[in-house]
Amino acid sequence: MSHDATTFEVVAREICVARKLAFGSLVGSGAFKHTFQVTKGDGVQLALKVYKADSERTAREVSAITRCNHENIAKFHELGNWTTAATSYTFSIEEFLAGGTLSGRLTAGALDATALANLARSLAAAVEHMAGLNLVHRDIKPDNIMFRTAAGPLVLVDFGIVRDLKESSMTQTWAMRGPGSPYFAAPEQLNNDKDLIDWRTDQFGLGVVVTIAATGSHPYASALGGNDPMTVIDRVANRVGPASWFTDWAKGARMTWLVRALSPWPVSRFTKPADLLAVLAGEI
Amino acid sequence: MSVYHQMGNDSFNLIGDMPSYVGAILSPVNDDMDAVAAIVRKTALRTSFELIFDPQLYFPRSQRGQLGTWNYFPKDVDTADVTSESWWHGVNDELIRTVAALGISKVCSPACFADTMPDDRYTFDVECTRQLCDSASKNSIHVLQTAIVRLPEVAQADRPMRIASILSRTAASGLYVVFHGEGRPRDALADTEQLKGAMRLLAALKEAGIPVLVGFAGPEIVLWKAAGAADFATGKFFNVRRFTRSRFDEEEGGGGQLPYWFEEALMTYLRDSDLDRVSRRNDLSLASLANPFGQKILEQKKQNPKAAWIKLGWRQYMHWFGDAEARIQAGTLDIESHLIKAEQQWVALDEAKVLMEEVRNNGAWVRAWRRALVEYKKTGP
């Protein structure tokens, strides 16, 4: 465990004592936060997230998740601050997602048709909810898609780079790339086209995730299973459009909605979240 | 698929017997609030006739005509920060109060012209329109978002899709697109890349399900229609003038004092003597010969050659506009083959050494239109 993680764990244990929670274990760590599994007195498992305080990223994530209230978005219980002799931290207590990540499930192979349909509809519902709050997640990827239980519903997590469209962007215009995981990012993110970012940016990420969950390949890869990640990212950034193998596959799989969702320009994707949900209800 | 009358100076009566016009875009430049209220009263019983109010703040520091008499016209326009959303919110609120008081159910969002229109400028307009929609919905007023699109900008490769991506975020029920060219008011739009870019923009918006009304339109309606725009507005001045900055610097009426005939066979305007030359060769189109106002002009020229026909000319053009839109819609006027014939007819005129009065009235734009249409069809939006 890194020095950073050790420090966070000390803080997490102190919070557990103060909140009468049983400390469990570290279940995830990133540059800005560490997540621990903890247990309430009644046996209910929770996720304790400890953030470096005063970071804009923390404020953004906490602000976003406290505004959301949706089955496919992690449930939020409490927000607080914790100060040690040397440092201040922010912490949140959220539901614990015991079902693992989509990344973990994909290691066993592609999803079947039923699971794929659930994935698409659940993600679209979460994105619709966020769009209603003027929020754009901007980092939809298998690592950020978890499950409540082994058979339970999908939950979108990690709002660290969420964008509130009512607030000015924090990304500098001179940045070569906007924030997000490049392999799953939309062209407007990769090109840092801030004025083109809206819920349709998440729609693109959703499309990439569903395609990978079904085929194992990125829809902009020139061949099924082909292209290294950097080549794929360049193809997305250059807005070459989805590959022909992908459009053929989508037609055969009766998932042509994916072709539209993965259009290189937002105007060519579904205009409103309700449009996408309606198509998903009918097509798959 | 509808045609609206873009109101000019005292022009409302021009469409009295033109059923193809389903409504009018009201102008606060030519009419004060009392005059507009009179039009609203006059049309109150015509249930299928729609009035749309265009606040015309394109150049807000210009108090043209009656514009300065309107309540919503900002009194601090010379000192205000027009890049401030809150300033526009104040204008929006006053505009909605004005439109509600008039009993008009549709309004175009205020938008002002800028020398360049970068992405953030379109975003700014989308956000200002969102606030206007909030205010309008409380008064059961529908909003069209005004989108001023500079034609030289849409000639750039990605610009149409970029602009369409931002505009398609609008909270309004549709867009009121105003194409702004930099040519002389009397010249036809003739830059193929600009035309193609404008068509790509319109097509992308149509594909996104955003209804578009193209304002200040002229005969190039044939291209906008091919690209999928839903509705169009034209007016008497658009037989010879279009939306350019100079139009807002000059006195209204300055370019419209000569009579013009719109000839579909050539897709051009003909002066009186041009009409005689083309008519003698039996080159007038069947559409022109069937145009009731065209028939009146020809009859009047026969009976009383010296009599003025400027007003009939306006009506002849406006009838053509509505009629052509309907025929394209019905599939009886195929734009591509029609432009081929028009070009051939210009060649025939040239070979016969039949020259029009105005030096630039040579049909050169028909080739640009054909190229724009063909190349647009090849690549699509």
* A11 and A88 together in one domain: yes
Q: Which residue from B158, B166, B204 is facing A268, i.e. has the nearest CB? A: B204
Q: What is the pLDDT of residue B250?
A: 46
Q: Which residues of B touch A163 (CB under 8 A)?
A: none
Closest CB from A194, A266, A275 relative to B165: A266
CATH of residue A43's domain is: 3.30.200.20
- For A111, residues 6+ apart whose C-beta sits below 8 A from its C-beta are A105, A119, A213, A214
In chain B, positions 353-372, which contact chain A (CB-CB < 8 Å)? none
Spatial CB neighbours of A232, under 8 Å, sequence gap ≥ 6: A183, A218, A220, A221
Place of tokens 């062209």: A187
Higher pLDDT, A160 or A194: A194
Q: Helix %, strand %, coil % for chain A, to 5?
A: 45, 20, 40
* pLDDT band at residue B254 under the 50/70/90 scheme: very low
Element (H, E) at A54: none
Given a cut of 60, whether residue A145 has pLDDT beyond it is: yes
Q: Which residues have CB under 8 Å from B310's CB, separation 6+?
A: B256, B257, B258, B259
Same domain, A52 and A126: no
Average pLDDT over residues B12-35: 88
Length of chain A: 284
Q: What is the pLDDT of residue B158?
A: 94
Question: Is residue A172 scored above 60 in pLDDT?
Answer: no
pLDDT tens profile A52-73 = 766 676 777 777 788 888 999 9
DSSP string, B153-184: HHTSTTHHHHHHHHHTT--SSEEEEEEE--S-
Give the three-class secondary structure for A191.
coil
């980092």: which residue's tokens? A139
**A4 is written with which tokens?**
């950073």
Task: Kindly list the distances between the CA atom of residue B135 and the CA atoms of A106, A247, B167, in Å, as whole numbers in the listed order.
Answer: 48, 43, 20
Q: Which of B165, B170, B177, B201 should we substitute to test contact with A (largest number of A Cβ atoms within 10 Å)? A: B165
* DSSP assignments along A93-152, one per residue: EEE--TT-BHHHHHTT-PPPHHHHHHHHHHHHHHHHHHHHTTEE----SGGGEEESSSSS
Burial pattern B250-273, b for ≥16 Cβ within 10 A else e, equals: eebeebbeebbbbbbbbbbbbbbe
- On whether the CB atoms of residues A87 and A141 are closer than 8 A, the answer is no
Selecting from A195, A200, A271 the residue whose C-beta is nearest the C-beta of B120 gives A195
Return the bridge partners of A88, or none: A83
In this model, does residue B242 exceed pLDDT 80? Answer: no
Residues of chain A found within 8 Å of residue B162, distances taken between Cβ atoms: 193, 196, 265
Cβ-based contacts of B159 with chain A (< 8 Å): none
The pLDDT score that the predictor gives to residue B252 is 46
Query: Which amino acid, residue B119?
Result: D
pLDDT digits (tens, 9 = 90+) for B134-171: 999 999 999 999 999 999 999 999 999 999 999 999 99
Confidence of residue A77 (pLDDT cuts 50, 70, 90): confident
State whether A46 and A152 are in the same domain.
Answer: no
Confidence check: pLDDT of A95 > 60: yes
Residue B319 to residue B335: CA distance in whole angstroms: 18
Q: Distance (Å, rounded) from C-alpha A75 to C-alpha A173? A: 33
The residue of chain A with its CA nearest to that of B121 is: A195
CA distances, A10 to each of A18, A26, A83, B99, B103 (Å): 13, 11, 12, 64, 67
Domain count, chain A: 2
The type of residue at B28 is P
Are residues A74 and A121 located together in one domain of the fold?
no
Distance CA A92, CA A109 (A): 34
pTM: 0.90
Residue B90: closest CA among B151, B135, B127 = B135
Q: Which residues of B touch A200 (CB under 8 A)?
A: 165
Q: Look at A193 and B162 and tell me if their CB atoms are within 8 Å.
A: yes
Chain A contact present for B165, CB below 8 A: yes
Q: Where are the alpha helices (DSSP H) in B227-269?
A: 245-249
Q: Does A108 lie in the same domain as A87?
A: no
Same domain, yes or no: A213 and A110: yes
Beta carbons within 8 Å of B325's beta carbon, 6+ residues apart? B1, B3, B20, B221, B225, B232
pLDDT of residue B275: 96
Helix, strand or coil for residue B101? helix
Tokens of B266: 């050539």
Q: What is the DSSP letter of A269?
A: S
Rounded Cα–Cα distance for residues B338 and B366 (Å): 10
Bridge partners, A23 (sequence order): A38
Asked which of A63, A95, A127 is the last residue of a domain, the reply is A95
Q: Indicate the residue of B122, B162, B209 with minimum beta-carbon distance to A271.
A: B209
Domain boundary pick from A47, A70, A95: A95
What is the pLDDT at residue B253? 45
Q: Taking a contact as any Cβ pair under 8 Å apart, which residues of chain A between 90 and 129 contact chain B? A: none
- Residue A87's pLDDT is 84
CATH of the domain at A142: 1.10.510.10
Report which DSSP code applies to B251: P
User: In A26-50, which positions are buried (b, 16+ CB within 10 angstroms) versus exposed (e)?
Assistant: bebbeeebbbbbbeeeeeeebbbbb
| A-chain residues near B161 (CB < 8 A) | 265, 267-268
Cα-trace Rg, chain A: 19
Contact between B225 and B325 (Cβ < 8 Å): yes
Instruction: Give residue A10's pLDDT band: very low, low, confident or very high (50, 70, 90).
Output: very high
How many Å lie between the alpha carbon of B20 and the closest alpha carbon of chain A?
31
Output the pLDDT for position B246.
Answer: 54
Name the residue among A188, A260, A266 with its Cα closest to residue A219.
A260
Q: Does the CB of A275 have a partner CB in chain B at under 8 Å?
A: yes
| Chain B interface disruption, residue of A195, A269, A272, most B CBs within 10 A | A195
Q: Are A132 and A50 part of one and the same domain?
A: no
Closest residue of B to A264, CA-based? B161
Phi, psi of A170 (to 5 degrees): -90, -10
- Helix, strand, coil shares of chain B as percentages rounded to 5? 45, 10, 40
Output the CA–CA distances (angstroms, integers) from residue B255 to B67, B236, B246, B328, in the order listed.
21, 11, 11, 29
Q: Which of A53, A77, A95 is the endpoint of a domain?
A: A95
Does A195 contact B at CB distance below 8 Å?
yes
Q: Is B85 on the interface with A (CB under 8 A)?
A: no
| A114-118, B44-48, B248-252: least confident range | B248-252
Domain that holds residue A236: 102-283
User: In one letter, which amino acid is B158?
Assistant: D
Is A195 found in the same domain as A73?
A: no
> Which of A26-40, A142-156, B321-335 is modeled with the greatest confidence?
B321-335
Asked whether residue A85 falls in the same domain as residue A126, the answer is: no
pLDDT tens-place string over residues B288-336: 999 999 999 999 999 999 899 999 999 999 999 999 999 999 999 999 9
Q: What percent of chain B has pLDDT over 90?
A: 72
Write the ipTM: 0.89
Listed residue (A257, A269, A128, A131) closest to A198, CA to CA: A131
- Torsions phi, psi of B12, nearest 5? -60, -40
Class of domain B2-249: alpha beta
Chain A residue with CA closest to B209: the answer is: A271
Higher pLDDT, B181 or B294: B294
Indicate the range of A55-64, A135-144, A150-159, B177-186 predicted with least confidence. Answer: A55-64
Residues A10, A124 within the same domain: no
* Domain residue spans of chain B: 2-249, 261-379
